[in-house]
Amino acid sequence: MCRTLVSFLLLLVFVTSNAQTHPSLFLNKSEAKLFLQEANQNKVNSVFKNSFNDTKKEVDEWIGKDVDVPFPVDPAGGYTHDKHKSNYMLMFNAGVLYNITGESKYALLVKNMLLKYAVLNPTLKKHPQATSTFAGHLFWQSLNDANWMVYTGLAYDLVYNYLSVSERKQIEVGAFKPEVDYLTIDMKEWYDRLHNHSVWACAGVGIIGLATNNKNYIDMALYGSDKNGKAGFIAQLDNLFSPDGYYTEGPYYVRYAILPYMLFANALEKSNPQMKIFEHRNNILQKALNTCLQQTNINGSFFPLNDALKEKDFTSNELVTAIDIARNYYGNDTGLLTFAKKQNRVSLDKGGLLISNSLKLSKVNNYFPYKSLESKDGVLGNEGGISILRNGKGENLSSLIYKYASQGLGHGHFDRLGINVFDKGNEILQDYGSARFIGIEQKYGGRYLNENTQYAAQTIAHNTIVMDETSHFGGDTELGQKYHANKLFSDFTNNNIQVVSAIEENAYKGTQLKRTLLFLDSIDGRKYIIDFFTTNTSSTHQFDLPFHYKGQVLSTNFKYTTPKTLNILGKHDGYQFLWKEGEAIQNGGIAQFSFLNNDKFYTISTLTTDTTNIYLTRIGANDPSFNLRSETSIVFRKTKQSPSFFSVIEMHGFYDTRNEFSYNSYSNVKDLKILKQDTDITVLQVVLNNSTLLIALANKNIDNNTSHEVVVLNEKLNWEGPYLFKKIKNQN
Phi-psi region of 716 (alpha: psi -120 to 50; beta: other; left: phi over 0): beta
* Per-residue CA distances from 364 to 335, 339, 342, 524 (Å): 9, 9, 10, 33
| Cα Rg, the chain, nearest whole Å | 28
What span, in angstroms and rounded, lies between the C-alpha atoms of 723 and 700? 11
**690 Cβ contact list (under 8 Å, min separation 6):** 524, 668, 729, 730
Q: How far is the CB of 633 from a second copy (least distance, A)?
A: 13
**148 Cβ contact list (under 8 Å, min separation 6):** 84, 85, 88, 138, 139, 179, 204
Nearer to a second copy, 98 or 437 (CB): 437
Nearer to a second copy, 478 or 660 (CB): 660
Amino acid 229 reads: G
Q: How far is the CB of 592 from a second copy (least distance, A)?
A: 11
Return the bridge partners of 612, or none: 586
Nearer to a second copy, 8 or 663 (CB): 663
Which of 236, 209, 232 has its CA nearest to residue 222? 232
Q: How far is the CB of 601 from a second copy (least distance, A)?
A: 9
Sign of the Cα torsion 673, 678, 679, 683 reads negative
SS3 state at 132: coil
Looking at 411, 462, 484, 708, which residue is catalytic?
411
Nearer to a second copy, 130 or 566 (CB): 566
- E runs forming strands in 220-322: none
SS3 state at 210: helix
Q: How far is the CB of 86 from a second copy (least distance, A)?
A: 7
Dihedral of CA atoms 157, 160, 165, 167 in degrees, nearest 10, equals -80
**593 Cβ contact list (under 8 Å, min separation 6):** 549, 553, 556, 603, 604, 605, 606, 634
Nearer to a second copy, 56 or 287 (CB): 56
Nearer to a second copy, 18 or 442 (CB): 442
**589 Cβ contact list (under 8 Å, min separation 6):** 607, 608, 609, 671
Q: How far is the CB of 509 from a second copy (least distance, A)?
A: 33
Amino acid 388 reads: I
What span, in angstroms and rounded, lies between the C-alpha atoms of 613 and 424? 31
Looking at 88, 253, 370, 615, which residue is catalytic?
253
Nearer to a second copy, 230 or 670 (CB): 670
Nearer to a second copy, 393 or 564 (CB): 564
Main-chain dihedrals φ then ψ at residue 120, nearest 5 degrees: -70, -50
Answer yes or no: 253 catalytic: yes
Dihedral of CA atoms 177, 181, 182, 188 in degrees, nearest 10, equals 160
- E runs forming strands in 330-437: 373-376, 385-391, 398-404, 418-423, 426-429
Q: How far is the CB of 530 from a second copy (least distance, A)?
A: 24
Q: How far is the CB of 566 from a second copy (least distance, A)?
A: 4
Nearer to a second copy, 438 or 687 (CB): 438
What span, in angstroms and rounded, lies between the C-alpha atoms of 368 and 291? 12
Q: How far is the CB of 428 from a second copy (least distance, A)?
A: 17
Residue 70: DSSP 8-state = P
Nearer to a second copy, 204 or 445 (CB): 445
Nearer to a second copy, 557 or 691 (CB): 557
Q: How far is the CB of 372 from a second copy (least distance, A)?
A: 30
What span, in angstroms and rounded, lies between the C-alpha atoms of 61 and 55? 10
**559 Cβ contact list (under 8 Å, min separation 6):** 584
Q: How far is the CB of 598 from a second copy (least distance, A)?
A: 10
SS3 state at 484: strand
Neighbours of 371 (CB within 10 A): 10
What span, in angstroms and rounded, lies between the C-alpha atoms of 518 and 604? 14
Nearer to a second copy, 346 or 485 (CB): 346
Nearer to a second copy, 162 or 666 (CB): 666
Q: How far is the CB of 672 from a second copy (least distance, A)?
A: 21
* Per-residue CA distances from 177 to 183, 394, 505 (Å): 10, 51, 49
Return the bridge partners of 533, or none: 515, 645
Q: What angle do CA 181, 182, 186 make, to 5 degrees?
A: 105
Q: How far is the CB of 337 from a second copy (least distance, A)?
A: 20
Q: How far is the CB of 189 from a second copy (least distance, A)?
A: 26
* Per-residue CA distances from 163 to 107, 119, 120, 148, 157 (Å): 9, 16, 19, 20, 10
Which residues lie near a second copy (CB under 8 A)? 76-77, 82, 85-86, 309, 311-312, 315-317, 437-443, 446, 552-555, 562, 564-568, 579, 581-582, 594, 596, 616, 618, 620-626, 629-630, 632, 655-662, 665-666
Instruction: Specify whether the CB–CB gap between 640 and 540 falls below 8 A.
Output: yes
Residue 72: DSSP 8-state = P
- What residues are labeled active site? 253, 411
